[in-house]
Structure 1
Amino acid sequence: MSLVNGSYCFDATRGQTSWQGFCCTDDASLSDFLKGPVTERLHDSTATLDFRDDLRALATTQFASDSLELVLQADVPEERDWAIGESFAEAYLEAEHAVSWPWNHERDKRNPFASLPGADLVGFVDEGGATRLALGEVKASTDANNPPGVMNGRSGMRHQLEQLVTNLGTLCQLLKWLHSRCKGTENEQAFKDAVRLLIDSGNQAISLYGVLIRDTPPTVLDLEARGDALSKNVVSPTSCRLVAIYLPFSIAELPSRVGGAA
């Protein structure tokens, strides 16, 4: 059952590529989704609480406690539109398509404005009883054009998704990144299964996801041309799913609608 009320305004498939539009309803389900799963992904709330509790246990004097609180209060909550958009996409794909994300990008920050190079989304998905590598890109746009500019050019979604399966240097870097985060954890077997399937398929068994977040009227034109173009290059066993999520409010409102930092 969907965590967000709404309706599919278009849905098409061509070969190994599909594209669909989902129109969210502005009700309690969307509010709960933003303040719950999206905020958890955005701020890594559970890990943040553990981090704060563990550090507070080390402060044995009032002076130390006061010093620590100054550090904790200086934490920079991520509230930029694109970061919230990525968290929205992860939470949506997890809820609607059972994609799992073994690592929160919030944990990779070395400075308040760091981001993962190579792909916005890195995880696993079960397809037909087999664990596959899931890679994706996220774009948020208020552009009135259909499709919006973020879908076009070398920095556009189509080109970036194609690079994830054709650029072996990018793929190697992503696998290295994922390996260090899965080794010795509950996700290690999923990593091994996905990589084994990947290399047994000639580096083709990858599930691609492209998520476009919009605050404009829904139209298939946002995805149709890119989906059609991708369908000519995405061949089995690679698969590609494009999703346009239409918000019932402006993208600029996202920061005020998600929950605060833990």
Structure 2
Amino acid sequence: MHTSVYSNSHDATSWNGVQLVDGSEFDAFMEGEVASRLHDKAGKADFTSHLNSLASTGFAQDSLQAILEAEHPEERDWAVGEALAEAWLSREHGVVWPWNMERDKRTPLASLPGADLVGFVTQGSETRLVLGEVKSSSDSNAPPNVMTGRHGMTRQLETLVTDIGLLYTLIRWLQPRCRGNDSEPHFNAAIGLLLQSGNKAMTLFGVLVRDTQPDERDLRNRGQHLGGVVNAPAGCHLLALHLPCSIASLPDRVQGGVS
């Protein structure tokens, strides 16, 4: 489903370009793993089951059906890009997501602040906190504008590794979502390691979703810059995912359409 097109590193930061290949495996990935993340299928199934147990009459069942049919499915291409990044990091890097941020939305088209990616990764006997950002771009420039500037990915990743206030906010958000479930041991191990390292031992991911020809310039200068900012035991991985389709077509592809 993919081929590596470039790979390089500078100190604690690495960058890689990956070309995704069109075909049945890519279709299955989009319609399965990506759709599951985008629509939070596990959370939706639990939600539906719980409400079904409360609808004890035919009238109540009709009322519940009206609520379920009023769902506003996520169709923005950048949101599909985020779900694609999450699914890819789970598949290829073993990242575990303890919580789907779709569950925190208060309005149908909300965009939540903080980090796009919050999870855990286990390497050997060590479990680390994962924080990261995702950008999608059809910009013909290399690097694209979403990588630079005040609100670009590079600046956001710098903030994640240097802003102790933001780190507090993210851990404070994450802790109750891990308490009392399968994610609690990951949380305890990752945050314990973080504290023992002087709040340094975390893994950052910056994922750039592209529908342009692979070009290492998308990541190289940003990777070299972050190599001077992110210090071990922290680690930073920049990843460009080059699509076999346009970013604008992602909502169709995740629904099983080809365009």
The answer for the alignment partner of 1:183 in structure 2 is 179
Aligned pairs (5 A) from 1:210-229: 210-229=206-225
Please report how far the alpha carbon of residue 258 of structure 1 lies from its aligned counterpart in structure 2 after TM superposition.
Answer: 0.7
Aligned pairs (5 A) from 1:161-240: 161-240=157-236
Q: Which amino acid aligns with 1:83?
A: A
The superposition leaves residues 230-259 of structure 1 with CA deviations (integer Å, 9 ceiling, x where unpaired) of: 011111101000000000110000001113
8 Å contact kept, 1:19–1:243: yes
Give the Cα separation in 2 of the matches to 1:128 and 1:156. 33
Give the Cα separation in 2 of the matches to 1:54 and 1:239. 40
Runs of 4+ in 1 over 4 A off after TM superposition: none
The answer for the alignment partner of 1:141 in structure 2 is 137
Unpaired segments of 5 or more residues in structure 1? Answer: none
Please report how far the alpha carbon of residue 188 of structure 1 lies from its aligned counterpart in structure 2 after TM superposition.
Answer: 0.9
Q: Which amino acid aligns with 2:185?
A: Q
Give the Cα separation in 2 of the matches to 1:54 and 1:127. 36
The answer for the alignment partner of 2:4 in structure 1 is 8
Give the Cα separation in 2 of the matches to 1:56 and 1:234. 48
> Considering only aligned residues, what root-mean-square deviation do their CA atoms show, in Å?
1.2
User: 1:87 aligned to 83, 94, 98, which one?
Assistant: 83
Give the Cα separation in 2 of the matches to 1:13 and 1:128. 22
Give the Cα separation in 2 of the matches to 1:152 and 1:216. 18
Q: Which amino acid aligns with 1:27?
A: G
Question: Aligned residues: percent identity?
Answer: 52
The superposition leaves residues 104-124 of structure 1 with CA deviations (integer Å, 9 ceiling, x where unpaired) of: 111112221223321000000
Aligned length: 256
Give the Cα separation in 1 of the matches to 2:231 and 2:52. 53
Unpaired segments of 5 or more residues in structure 2? Answer: none
SS of equivalent to 1:177 = helix
Give the Cα separation in 1 of the matches to 2:7 and 2:194. 28
Give the Cα separation in 2 of the matches to 1:66 and 1:201. 55
Q: Which amino acid aligns with 1:11?
A: S
SS of equivalent to 1:99 = coil
Q: Which amino acid aligns with 1:68?
A: L
Output the TM-score relative to the length of structure 1.
Answer: 0.94
